[in-house]
Amino acid sequence: MTDSPSSDAPGDGQAQRPQPWFPPGGGYGPGSPAPGQAPPGQPGTEPPGTGQSGTGQPDPPGWPGWSQPGYVQPGPGQPGYQQPAPGPPGYGQPPPGQWPRFSEAAPKPGVIPLRPLGVGEILDGAFASIRRNPKAILGLAAVVMTISAVISATITRTLLNLGGLNLPSPGQQLTPAQATHLVGRIVAVVVPAFGLTLLLTFIVQAILAGLLAPIIARGVSGQQISAADAWRATRPRLPSLLLATLLVLLAGLGPLLILGLIVGIAFLAGAPAAVYAVLALLGLVALVLTIWFSTMLSLVTPVVVLENESPGRALARSWRLVTRSFWRVFGITLLAGIIVAIAGGILQLPFTFLGAVSGSGIVATVILVIGTIAAGTVTRPITAGVTVLLYVDMRMRKEGLDLALRTASGTGQPGTGQPGGPSGDDFASVWRPPSAGPAPAPGTPPTAAGAPPPW
> For 4-37, how does the pLDDT look when each residue is reduced to its tens digit (9 = 90+)?
444 444 444 444 444 444 444 444 444 444 444 4
Please give the pLDDT value at position 396: 93
Q: Using CA atoms, how far apart are residues 90 and 211, in angstroms rounded to an integer?
A: 43
Q: Using CA atoms, how far apart are residues 86 and 36, in angstroms rounded to an integer?
A: 18
Radius of gyration in angstroms for the set of CA atoms belonging to the chain, rounded to a whole number: 33
Q: Using CA atoms, how far apart are residues 420 and 408, in angstroms rounded to an integer?
A: 9
Q: Are residues 57 and 120 in contact, defined by beta-carbon separation less than 8 angstroms?
A: no
Backbone torsions φ then ψ of 58, nearest 5 degrees:
-70, 155
Please give the pLDDT value at position 81: 56
DSSP state of 58: B
- Show Cβ contacts of residue 200 under 8 Å, excluding neighbours closer than 6 positions: 148, 151, 152, 155
In the chain, the percentage of residues whose pLDDT exceeds 90 is 34
- pLDDT, tens only, 124-134: 999 999 999 99
Count CA atoms closer than 13 A to 369's CA, side-chain side.
Answer: 18
DSSP element (H, E) containing 181: helix 176-220
Size of the chain, expressed as the number of residues it contains: 455
- pLDDT, tens only, 182-213: 666 666 667 777 778 888 888 888 899 999 99
Backbone torsions φ then ψ of 270, nearest 5 degrees:
70, 45
- pLDDT, tens only, 211-225: 999 999 988 988 888
Q: Which of 139, 153, 148, 146 has its CA nearest to residue 355?
A: 153
Q: Would you list the DSSP string of 86-151? A: P-STTTTPPPTTSPPPTTSPPP-SSSS-SSPPPHHHHHHHHHHHHHHSHHHHHHHHHHHHHHHHHH
Average pLDDT, integer, range 312-316:
94
Q: Using CA atoms, how far apart are residues 68 and 81, in angstroms rounded to an integer?
A: 17
